[in-house]
């Protein structure tokens, strides 16, 4: 068991402000330094602060350690499969496998690096004790899953006391998108109409709105929303659900860096776009060409009959090119903005998701970043999808030709025509999506 001097050394290390006592925020900081969930600090504080004066002095801490060490040492012994008095990588991997956590070699390397303070390639009891003494109780089966989650890069949806799996993330992404896109459906209709037929309305958003209402009635502003739900729910489910596995696969192969994070965001977006592309194309045709198609099935049948099955994937390469900047900027901006918010306004509370208002602002930042980054490519993609449909002329031979001709004929501003309407739509849509995502994710994790 630990000597008084060893316990004093641990106490002094946790006493960040050198006040001679430990506060709740200091325990939370100590846990975060060990890449452990900060919410355990409250559990420790409630047990160790025996006189309930709002702080833990050294005698209280010494008593807490004495009570914990027997169980902690027993846990260490269970890990030391080789009976050497140290835990090596093989021991760590075997124990995690026994807990059905099935770590990758990279997971083991990360966890070893956290615990192996002297970089000797093995974990001594004192190193194990120093990192886990603040866990109450020592339930390593539950802890290890959280530990692997917290030691890596947290996914969209925040850090919580129960890691989210692919189902939670996918379901939350799909539901939150359905809510947000239904709210902003009129703005989505306006964006698409302006991208395809801006000249028809003198490039005026106001005239476009008036024109659509006059021609189709107010409900016309929600034209295509039903088919959009068929598209947007699986699209966002794939986007949120696939990002974690994609990021892990890329980082396992190439290591952690800003470049691999950027790549994982982009690749996730490309997978997402490809998986639902026919629905996206059909939705665009129905939305911007009222009267041409009777519905999703009629549109699909007519497109295949007139243009062949391959027409359902017309422009898919352009969509994937657009997905690279759009998803990289959207997910990247959200992750960075959220981390800045947590670091500056949620000190000691990183185990909680940002509140509703913060979630709205963070989502708005993400939406605007993605919209501006990918808009010229998105606008060109829509023009290529819709040319030749509903009497529209065929003007462009491909993505590059479209971008060049629009820039030449309308100036660089022409590449961003409709962007303001898209920002007006995407700002609240993304804000609602990410804010709802955080809350829905928390609810699903607590329920299932």
For 258, residues 6+ apart whose C-beta sits below 8 A from its C-beta are none
Give SS3 for 339. Answer: helix
Token pair 């590449």 is at which residue? 415
Compare 438 and 19 and report the one with higher pLDDT. Answer: 19
- Most confident of the ranges 24-33, 255-264, 300-309, 409-418: 300-309
- Where, residue-wise, is CATH 1.10.238.10 in the chain? 4-151
Question: Encoding tokens for residue 189?
Answer: 């209709």
Beta bridge partners of 290: 293
Please give the model's pTM, rounded to 2 decimal places: 0.49
What is the per-residue pLDDT for 356?
66
What is the per-residue pLDDT for 308?
92
Tens digits of per-residue pLDDT, 230-264? 778 888 888 888 877 888 888 778 877 778 888 88
- Statement: 166-447 belongs to CATH 1.10.10.60: no
Question: Encoding tokens for residue 160?
Answer: 């919580």
Compare 94 and 351 and report the one with higher pLDDT. Answer: 94
Compare 273 and 149 and report the one with higher pLDDT. Answer: 273
Q: How long, in residues, is the chain?
A: 448
Average pLDDT over residues 47-74: 86
Contact yes or no for 250/267 (Cβ under 8 A): yes
Tens digits of per-residue pLDDT, 159-193? 233 444 567 788 888 888 888 888 888 887 887 77
Tens digits of per-residue pLDDT, 212-237? 888 888 888 888 777 778 778 888 88
Tens digits of per-residue pLDDT, 95-136? 777 665 666 777 788 778 878 888 888 888 888 888 778 765
Integer Rg of the chain from CA = 27
Q: Span 4-151: which CATH code? A: 1.10.238.10
User: Comparing C-alpha atoms, which of 27, 36, 58 is closest to residue 111?
Assistant: 36
What is the per-residue pLDDT for 346?
64
pLDDT over 60 at 364, yes or no: yes
Tens digits of per-residue pLDDT, 378-391? 888 878 877 776 67
The confidence band for 350, taking pLDDT boundaries of 50, 70 and 90, is very low
Question: Encoding tokens for residue 317?
Answer: 């390469």
pLDDT over 80 at 354, yes or no: no
Contact yes or no for 122/210 (Cβ under 8 A): no
Write the DSSP assignment of 184-207 as a string of letters. THHHHHHHHHHHHHGGGGTT-HHH
What is the per-residue pLDDT for 161?
36
Mean pLDDT of the chain, nearest integer: 79
The sign of the dihedral angle between the CA atoms of 36, 37, 42, 44 is: negative
Longest dimension (CA), the chain: 86
Q: Omega before 123 cis (within 30°)?
A: no
pLDDT over 50 at 30, yes or no: yes
What is the per-residue pLDDT for 232?
81
The sign of the dihedral angle between the CA atoms of 110, 112, 117, 120 is: negative
What is the per-residue pLDDT for 105?
78
User: In whole angstroms, what is the distance from residue 289 CA to residue 391 CA?
Assistant: 10
- Where, residue-wise, is CATH 1.50.40.10 in the chain? 166-447
Compare 284 and 306 and report the one with higher pLDDT. Answer: 306
Token pair 């997905």 is at which residue? 323
Instruction: Return the ∠ at Cα 280 (arms to 274 and 281), rounded to 5°.
Output: 105
Contact yes or no for 92/108 (Cβ under 8 A): yes
User: In whole angstroms, what is the distance from residue 154 CA to residue 150 CA?
Assistant: 7
Beta bridge partners of 21: 57
């Amino acid at each position: 068991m630990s000597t008084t001097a060893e316990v004093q050394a641990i106490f002094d290390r946790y006493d960040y402000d050198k006040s001679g006592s430990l506060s709740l925020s200091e325990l939370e900081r100590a846990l975060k330094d060990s890449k452990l969930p900060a919410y355990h600090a409250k559990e420790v504080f409630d047990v160790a602060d025996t006189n309930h004066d709002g702080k833990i002095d050294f005698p209280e801490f010494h008593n807490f350690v004495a009570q914990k060490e027997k169980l902690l040492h027993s846990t260490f012994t269970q890990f030391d499969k080789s009976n050497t008095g140290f835990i090596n990588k093989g021991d760590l991997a075997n124990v995690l496998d026994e807990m059905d956590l099935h770590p990758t070699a990279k997971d083991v390397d990360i966890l070893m690096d956290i615990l192996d303070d002297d970089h000797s390639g093995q974990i001594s009891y004192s190193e194990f004790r120093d990192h886990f003494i603040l866990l109450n109780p020592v339930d390593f089966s539950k802890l290890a899953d959280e530990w692997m989650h917290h030691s890596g890069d947290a996914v969209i949806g925040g850090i919580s006391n129960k890691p989210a799996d692919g189902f939670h993330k996918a379901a939350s992404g799909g539901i939150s998108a359905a809510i947000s896109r239904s709210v902003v459906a009129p703005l989505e209709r306006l964006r698409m109409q302006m991208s395809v037929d801006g000249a028809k309305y003198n490039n005026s958003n106001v005239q476009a709105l008036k024109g659509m209402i006059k021609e189709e009635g107010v409900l016309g502003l929600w034209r295509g929303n039903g088919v959009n739900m068929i598209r947007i729910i699986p699209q966002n489910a794939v986007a949120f659900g696939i990002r974690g596995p994609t990021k892990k696969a890329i980082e396992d192969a190439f290591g952690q860096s800003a470049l691999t994070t950027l790549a994982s965001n982009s690749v996730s977006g490309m997978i997402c776009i490809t998986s639902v592309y026919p629905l996206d194309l059909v939705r665009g045709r129905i939305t911007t060409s009222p009267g041409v198609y009777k519905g999703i099935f009629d549109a699909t049948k007519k497109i295949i009959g007139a243009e062949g099955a391959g027409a359902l994937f017309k422009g898919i390469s352009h969509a994937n090119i657009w997905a690279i900047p759009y998803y990289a900027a959207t997910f990247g901006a959200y992750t960075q903005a959220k981390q800045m918010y947590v670091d500056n306004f949620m000190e000691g509370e990183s185990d909680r998701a940002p509140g509703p208002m913060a979630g709205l602002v963070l989502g708005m930042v993400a939406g605007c970043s993605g919209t501006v980054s990918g808009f010229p490519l998105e606008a060109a993609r829509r023009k290529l999808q819709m040319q030749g449909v509903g009497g529209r002329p065929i003007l462009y031979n491909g993505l590059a030709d479209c971008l060049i001709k629009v820039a030449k004929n309308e100036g660089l501003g022409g590449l961003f025509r409709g962007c303001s309407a898209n920002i007006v739509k995407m700002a609240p849509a993304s804000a609602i999506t990410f804010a709802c995502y955080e809350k829905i994710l928390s609810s699903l994790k607590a329920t299932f």
